[in-house]
Amino acid sequence: MAKNKVLTCTFFALSSGFFGGYIGSQMTLMLHSQRCQNQPWAMKELCNLWITPGATWQGSTTGIWVGTILGAFAGGLVIREKRY
């Protein structure tokens, strides 16, 4: 029974971490790409090309950390035993 609890909590943490990494990278990329909007077409494309790797890395790293921590917390709430 304890092994299933550990697997459940691990699954919640990892899946939430991956989802958080994806959402974090998308949000940070959209936020950073707003800096390029007032440029002419070619400069806008170069600007987006320049900021994409850093924004994706920053957002996904933050999202993975936050998602994993929140997922582990949610998994712990799901598997906890109720005591009266």
Q: For residue range 32-49, list pLDDT tens digits in order.
A: 999 999 999 999 999 999
d(CA 80, CA 41): 55
In a domain, 84, yes or no: no
Dihedral, CA of residue 36, residue 38, residue 41 and residue 42, to nearest 10: -50
In a domain, 3, yes or no: no
46-61 pLDDT tens trace = 999 999 999 999 999 9
Please state, as a whole number, how many other Cβ atoms lie within 10 Å of the Cβ of residue 9: 20
Number of structural domains found in the chain: 1
In a domain, 35, yes or no: yes
Which domain, by its residues, includes 51?
A: 11-72
In a domain, 56, yes or no: yes
